[in-house]
């Protein structure tokens, strides 16, 4: 489901509009505009995550490598290949760290779901090609809502979405002493330290009396702002 099969369809659509709508030529001119106006609203639910071309040049380069070399298995979820945008499938993989995922993708590996061939089976790809493609796939699968729109519109919702994708694996169950959202007794002494320390512990990681909180929950691709948004959400659950 890349843009490629879609473009001929769009061209045919425009041709028909052009042919039928002679009395109203602006209608055919409007069509592409209306389409791109609608896209940002419809995209998160309807369009596959991989249809959007990323703004970051590294990720855009990764998308090109991905479309040509990796989509054959990953877009279909073939033999358990995790689909970009499938947050649940990617969360434990991303938690290993981007470096580990990248090295495994370059070398190839056999996991619980199946075999991921070295460089997706294309030996002519450089390590940088694969690095960019993995970064693109991970970025599509972080489970965040679009960075620009959502946090501004509703920071609590953004915090919850990011929490669910990146932190819930430990904090929902209270794994190794991770304080659960809503557990007032567990949070009271932590909140008493002050918000700044909570945020810095979450960004840099820390070892407490109960266990280890990894830096950014082990997800290095999260920005400091995103972690701050999540911590604010967690603190809000016990207010
Ligand atoms: C022949 C099918 C196939 C192709 C082509 C393919 N993959 Fe995979 N990939 C898989 C499968 C299957 C898995 C899951 C293996 C498992 O965990 O059991 C996987 C897993 C991965 C993972 C997760 C790694 C981890 O540590 O969990 C990454 C990242 C990845 N592939 C990147 C790529 C990239 C980048 C390309 C293109 C250069 C690519 N793949 C091409 C089949 C494929
Ligand atoms: C691998 C498990 C794990 C993941 C994933 C994880 N945490 Fe934690 N976290 C912990 C543990 C364990 C503690 C408690 C450590 C202690 O106090 O002994 C903790 C404590 C915290 C605290 C309290 C800090 C303090 O100063 O008392 C905050 C805030 C926090 N985590 C935020 C996050 C955020 C935000 C994420 C996601 C980006 C996250 N955590 C992901 C295990 C995890």
Cβ of residue 63 lying under 6 Å from some atom of ligand 1: no
- Confidence class of residue 80 from pLDDT cuts 50, 70 and 90? confident
208 — phi, psi (to 5°)?
A: -105, -165
Pairwise pLDDT comparison (76 vs 151), residue with the higher score: 76
Task: Please list every protein residue whose CB sits less than 6 Å from any atom of ligand 2.
Answer: 166-167, 169-171, 175-179, 190, 193, 197-198, 201-202, 208-214, 216-219, 222, 227, 230-231, 234
For range 146-153, the mean pLDDT = 46
Cα gap 155→231, rounded to integer Å? 11
Q: Is 42 exposed, middle or buried (0-12, 13-18, 19+ CB in 10 A)?
A: exposed
pLDDT at 87 exceeding the cut of 70: yes
Q: How many CB atoms lie within 10 A of CB 71?
A: 21
pLDDT at 7 exceeding the cut of 90: no
Return the pLDDT at 165.
Answer: 87
For range 114-138, the mean pLDDT = 94
- List, for residues 170-229, the tens digit of each pLDDT value: 899 888 889 999 899 999 999 899 899 999 999 999 988 888 888 999 888 899 999 999
> CA-CA distances (angstroms) from residue 144 to 103, 121, 160, 201, 230?
24, 30, 10, 21, 11
For range 34-63, the mean pLDDT = 61
- Confidence class of residue 48 from pLDDT cuts 50, 70 and 90? low
pLDDT at 11 exceeding the cut of 70: no
Cα gap 22→198, rounded to integer Å? 64
pLDDT at 33 exceeding the cut of 80: no
Q: How many CB atoms lie within 10 A of CB 32?
A: 12
Q: Name the token pair of 129.
A: 């090609």
Cα gap 163→231, rounded to integer Å? 8
Average pLDDT, the chain: 78
User: Nearest C-alpha to atom 26 of ligand 1 is from which residue?
Assistant: 101
In the reported structure, the alpha carbon of residue 126 is separated from the centroid of ligand 1 by a whole-number distance in angstroms of: 16
Return the pLDDT at 174.
Answer: 86
The dihedral region occupied by 80, where left means phi > 0, alpha psi between -120 and 50, and beta the remainder, is left
Cβ of residue 126 lying under 6 Å from some atom of ligand 1: no
204 HSE (CA, 13 A, CB side): 9
In the reported structure, the alpha carbon of residue 144 is separated from the centroid of ligand 2 by a whole-number distance in angstroms of: 19
Cα gap 163→79, rounded to integer Å? 29
Cβ of residue 137 lying under 6 Å from some atom of ligand 1: yes
């Amino acid at each position: 489901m890349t843009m490629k099969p879609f473009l001929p369809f769009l061209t045919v659509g425009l041709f028909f509009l052009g042919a039928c709508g002679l009395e109203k030529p602006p209608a055919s001119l409007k069509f592409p505009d209306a389409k791109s106006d609608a896209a940002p609203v419809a995209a998160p639910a309807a369009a596959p995550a991989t249809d959007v071309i990323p703004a970051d040049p590294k990720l855009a380069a990764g998308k090109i490598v991905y479309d040509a070399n990796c989509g054959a298995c990953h877009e279909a979820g073939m033999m358990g290949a995790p689909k970009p945008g499938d947050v649940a499938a990617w969360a434990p993989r991303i938690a290993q760290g981007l470096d580990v995922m990248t090295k495994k993708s370059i070398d190839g590996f056999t996991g619980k779901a199946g075999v991921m061939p070295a460089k997706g089976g294309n030996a002519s790809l450089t390590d940088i090609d694969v690095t960019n493609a993995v970064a693109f796939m991970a970025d599509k699968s972080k489970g965040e809502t679009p960075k620009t729109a959502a946090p501004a519109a509703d920071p609590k919702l953004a915090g919850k979405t990011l929490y669910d994708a990146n932190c819930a694996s430990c904090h929902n169950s209270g794994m190794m002493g991770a304080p659960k959202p809503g557990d007032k007794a567990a949070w009271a002494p932590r909140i008493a330290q002050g918000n700044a320390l909570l945020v810095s512990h979450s960004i840099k990681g820390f070892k407490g009396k109960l266990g280890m909180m990894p830096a950014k929950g082990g997800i290095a691709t999260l920005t400091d702002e995103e972690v701050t948004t999540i911590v604010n959400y967690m603190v809000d659950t016990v207010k």
